[in-house]
Amino acid sequence: MLKKLWFALFFFLSVFSPAQKLDMTRFKGMTARSIGPAGMSGRVTAIDVVLSNPEIIYAGTASGGLWKSTSGGINWEPIFDDQPIASIGALAINQTVPDVIWVGTGEGNPRNSQSSGNGLYKSLDGGRSWKHLGLEKSRNIHRILLHPRDPDIAYAAVIGTAWADTEERGVYKTTDGGATWEKILYLNKRTGIGELVMDPVNPNKLKKAMRMPSCNILLGAVPLT
């Protein structure tokens, strides 16, 4: 009881005691500064590094295209500006042949300012030129996985549009370097792929997480072989 009385007294004095006047002259020399992010869509959504040469870094952004650094991140150059889409959702380097880069467009993080894409792209020359690989209606691709031993095999994890029902959601697989794609996993029009990972020992064993884009609900992770 005594503790309660002391607490009540302390609360009363804290709330109703006269507030001290703040001396604003103490803040005269202070100026505002930006601590980021630069803007609502200034998010970095994907990043990959050439393992044999860590100075080479690629970074994809929510609505600012794809960037490349050959100086370990000191300097950057845009390498996707000639394409019709500026939103990047996924990025994967073929570490055996590092000039081969796969890019999935449409950021894979559903939110109020989410940007959309128009499918997959591939470069054979380190980003100097690009070829569109299809999946135009995928809208948002969250992950690309490359087979470590077969460069023609790749997987694309598609979330799909965040605000409408679509049958384009699911996991897609190519066995011909992206020329054609097969949808190997599909749940329903409202559930896309939130994450896709490959077993480091057995590349034929994949695990995925399903999610509903408009409300970011994780539905579970199960093996996909």
> Which of 192, 189, 199, 190 has its CA nearest to residue 172?
192
DSSP E strand boundaries for 8-98? 44-49, 57-61, 66-69, 77-78, 88-93
Mean pLDDT across 10-37: 64
**Predicted confidence band of residue 22 (pLDDT cuts 50, 70, 90):** confident
Beta bridge partner(s), residue 102:
92, 122
Which structural domains are found in the chain, ordered by start? Answer: 62-224 (2.130.10.10)
182, 167 contact by CB (below 8 A)? no
pLDDT tens digit string along 77-92? 999 999 999 999 999 9
Q: How many CA atoms lie within 13 A of 8 on its CB side?
A: 5
**Predicted confidence band of residue 43 (pLDDT cuts 50, 70, 90):** confident
Terminal C-alpha separation, the chain:
64
Model pLDDT, residue 38: 54
Strand order in the sheet with 120-123: 88-93, 101-105, 120-123, 131-134
Virtual torsion, Cα 64, 216, 196, 162, nearest 10 deg: -50
pLDDT tens digit string along 160-189? 988 889 999 999 999 999 999 999 999 999
Q: Average model confidence (pLDDT) for the chain?
A: 85
Residue 37, pLDDT > 50, answer no
Who has greater pLDDT, 171 or 24?
171
